[in-house]
Homo-oligomer: A and B are copies of this chain.
Amino acid sequence: MRAADVGDPMMGRLVRWQGPTAAAEAIRRGSLPEEFVVRENIPEHGPSRIAELHRRFQAWRARLEIADPAADLETGHRAGARLVIPGSAEWPTQLDALGHSRPLALWVHGSADLRFSCLRSVGVVGARAATAYGVHIAAEFGVALSEAGWAVVSGGAYGIDGAAHRGALVGDAPTIAVLACGTDICYPSGHHELFAAIREHGAVVSECPPGVHPTRARFLIRNRLIAALSRGTLVVEAAVRSGALNTAGHAVSLGRHLAAVPGPITSEMSMGCHKLIRDRNAVCVTTPGELIELVGLIGDDMAVPARGPVVPRDSLNEATRSVLDAVPLRGGAGPASIAVSAGVDLTTALSCLGGLAAAGYVERVPKGWRLRKDQPQ
């Protein structure tokens, strides 16, 4: 895990072809198997493939020389983490969708079983520099998802990520923080207590060995894990230039659901979300129920459509409504003139006026009929 950069697909192919132990031996030995080199050198991978393979191979070898896997394992275990490898019971098989950039293994630190937790999980991501609106929404969605039995997967950062984790800790479902550094590193440092709570009610996960610090590249590569672990990703707030949009891109390219929360068009932090919605890459989501409907199973998880109150006026038939519209607010009008302006005959007008009076809409006055001040809406 120390030899190649996280998510290196060339290393991914070597490990998949030879197995991790043989791959490490080959690198140490300083000679790649001839057959692998031939396989890598196919035209579809581009012309300068062999030069690139050679360059990476030298880098892997240099790093492997100073790597100490046994010490890594011991450090990790002493910190309380476990190494989960492909094929083990806790391995989330949905990561296979990443192909050759699938992680070689994952460090997991926490009470939750990673595979089981992520069966019903949603990525909730967004800006670090979130607004109060975004933080509020992220926390509300976190609570509602967790209470509905959905694990919230996020990146443990300040802003939206932290709010989503905190909300999720309220419910029963576990929450998963995927870090861009070793699970023993607390980044950001202000989330020390949050990570402790996540370890207790979920898990902190990383493909980086213990002691590895985050870099920009690792953040971007980490984002593919959030997308790949979850059934779908929700972007709560994101500027137009934002790591959350990178995660969103991974969700789209993996064929997972993508949703975004709209916000005020005057807020820069909603511009990324609006762009995703405008480009029809993301579904516009306004309630946790709508999100669960999107990522859930058809039939099990249908959202209740937004609907206004049904008012008594709706239940009036067309003729009665016309008559009601023809009754004046002030003064009063006789049934004949009401019938004419409503466009109905006199008998109909009289029958409608009787019904409207009984329902409290109109009243009889010396000059005929008029609307009641306290009529139902």
Bound CA–CA A215/B239 (angstroms): 45
Chain A residues 52 to 67 lying within 8 A of chain B, measured CB to CB, are 55-56, 58-60, 62-63, 66
A284 close to B306 (CB less than 8 A): no
Give the interface centre of A60, A274, A280 by most chain B CB atoms within 10 Å: A274
**Closest chain B residue to A324 by CB distance?**
B216
- Nearest B residue to A314 via CB reads B241
Check if A31 is an interface residue, CB within 8 A of chain B.
no
A5 within 8 A of B: yes
Taken residue by residue from 28 to 67, chain A's Cβ proximity to chain B (1 for < 8 Å, 0 otherwise) reads as: 0000000000000000000000000001101110110010
Q: Determine, out of A86-94, A156-164, A259-267, the stretch whose residues face the partner at the interface.
A: A259-267
Kindly state the separation between the CA atoms of A322 and B218 in the bound complex, as whole angstroms.
10
- Asked whether, in the complex, the Cβ of B265 is within 8 Å of the Cβ of A264, the reply is no
Is A344's beta carbon under 8 Å from chain B?
Answer: yes
Interface size class of A (residues with CB under 8 A): 35 or more
Interface string of A338-361 (1 = CB under 8 A from B): 011101110000000000000000
B66→A340 contact, CB < 8 A: yes
CB of A190 within 8 A of chain B?
A: no
Given A66-B340, A241-B309, does the pair A216, B321 have CB atoms closer than 8 Å?
A: yes
Taken together as a complex, chains A and B put the C-alpha atoms of A352 and B335 apart, in Å, by 92
* Binary interface encoding of chain A residues 212-231 relative to chain B, with 1 for a CB under 8 A from any of its CBs, else 0: 00011110000000000000
Copy tally for this chain in the complex stands at 2
A275 near B: Cβ within 8 Å? Answer: yes
A277 adjacent to B284 (CB under 8 Å)? yes
Q: Which residues of B contact A339 (CB under 8 A)?
A: 62
In the complex, A286 has a CB within 8 A of chain B: yes
Given contacts A216-B325, A217-B321, A240-B308, contact A274 B264 (CB under 8 A): no
In the complex, the answer to whether B265 meets A343 with C-beta atoms within 8 Å is: no
Q: Which A residues from 186 to 232 make CB contacts under 8 A with B?
A: 215-218
Closest 3 CB pairs of A and B: A241-B308, A262-B262, A215-B325
15 contacts between A and B (CB under 8 A): A55-B345, A62-B339, A63-B341, A215-B326, A216-B321, A240-B308, A241-B309, A262-B264, A262-B274, A262-B277, A262-B284, A277-B277, A277-B284, A278-B286, A284-B284
